[in-house]
Structure 1
């Protein structure tokens, strides 16, 4: 009985300390291998941790490195047809702090036909270029994601009537066309917006028109056909600028 007293004393002492300490310091009779539990877990997790080379995802390089001169992305011949009597024949460039990543240009004018009324037209084109990024994805993927966002913005135009979205075939890698009408100060405007992606570049084009002083409202087909023609030229100018 005296021989077992030290063992009993030790058991009582262990019972008086916190549970976490019992595991670490009071298990000499449990038959452990002698290696601390914490070290065993650390070794297992370390061996399962992937190396930096395993976790880094390779992304596809951006297809296009630069943007075209935006006011020259649509030919002068086309802008003269789409926007007769444009205030600025060569277009008005949009202000941009980074022309390598974004730019825009617009044309607008009123073709006065006297007693037959007047026809107003407005054309706008913008470019956005996306770089490839290890965390955000390739430039092509980023442009595709933003295409959906830009289409949603157009679809959310306040006051839009008879809005319809369709696939615009034959324009870049993918494109959507949004057509609608909007009444401004008693005049009915017809709009067609095209959002197209070519590689890592997003092209946003809007074309609209209205008839004043008794002139007829332009047809949706005329406006859409004009927008499609200009969008194809704008998309083609991206590849031409990167040759």
Structure 2
């Protein structure tokens, strides 16, 4: 009995060695599995990042001052007796995305009648958005909406639509006749898109007190001229916004005569002329505007 006890102890000690090795082996396998799982997670995260949608950046990040987007010379030509030569800016909560300006006036020719003109320009800019698409794509959608809106003008007659070349990347003209305040108006709307910006310009006119109605051709020609200047102003505004602070210089071609002392005299003269209008003409203008 005494001899068998040491022998039994040696047998148990030898038997314990393989068990320890097996445990160590299992611990090693467990570690390998954890490392493998971590690697798979990293690969999955990387794949998710690569799968995120991307859109082309919008080209234009700013809009021009709408009341300066059309030169004073052109405004004077299209609206000879504008109530405000500087235009009336449209209300906007974010002028970097939406802006507009309008001019209107009555050129009183006494017994020969009067000519009324109205000019309006609007800008809408779209940013690129992963969920909505690129700025250019969103502008394209608005371009189509603005055309449909112009064609659906209430009371419009003889509505015609046609593409226009040389104005932005794409442009469409919509012309129609409209009777209001008992006078026949000629309308022309130009909808143009330049990258991620949509420009909508409308020009119309009518003859009062027996004065001849302006021709549709003249109204359309004026609208196209103003639209070209408005589209060009978009690119100019983007260039100016990219310049370092204090480096911008005025463009001689687009700088108006607002700083010229004679300009204020002209405005004063226009106001005196306007004050001499007959009450009948004033009533017609109020109804029209």
Q: Is TM more than 0.5 here?
A: yes
| Corresponding position: 1:211 with 2:179 | no
Aligned partner (choices 116, 123, 139) of residue 120 of structure 1: 116
Alignment gaps of 5+ in structure 2: 1-43, 240-289
Q: Which residue of 1 aligns with 2:95?
A: 99
| Corresponding position: 1:135 with 2:134 | no
Question: Which has the higher mean CA deviation after the structures are superposed, 53-62 or 183-192?
Answer: 53-62
Aligned partner (choices 188, 209, 228) of residue 224 of structure 2: 228
Aligned partner (choices 64, 69, 76) of residue 68 of structure 1: 64
4+ residue runs of structure 1 moved beyond 2 angstroms? 50-57
CA RMSD of aligned residues (A): 1.7
| Corresponding position: 1:53 with 2:49 | yes
Give me the whole-angstrom Cα distance separating, in 1, the residues matched to 2:128 and 2:206: 41
Q: Which residue of 2 aligns with 1:31?
A: none
Q: Secondary structure at the match of 2:147?
A: helix
Q: Secondary structure at the match of 1:214?
A: coil
Q: Which has the higher helix share?
A: 2
Give me the whole-angstrom Cα distance separating, in 1, the residues matched to 2:212 and 2:195: 39
Q: Which residue of 2 aligns with 1:192?
A: 188
Q: Which residue of 2 aligns with 1:183?
A: 179
Alignment gaps of 5+ in structure 1: 1-47
**CA drift at 1:54:** 4.6
Q: Which residue of 2 aligns with 1:147?
A: 143
**CA drift at 1:77:** 0.2
Describe the superposition over 1:129-178 as per-residue Cα deviations: whole angstroms up to 9, x where unpaired: 10000011110110011100111011111111000011011100111110
Give me the whole-angstrom Cα distance separating, in 1, the residues matched to 2:182 and 2:88: 27
Describe the superposition over 1:167-213 as per-residue Cα deviations: whole angstroms up to 9, x where unpaired: 01110011111000001122000000111101111101000000001
Aligned partner (choices 83, 89, 95) of residue 87 of structure 1: 83
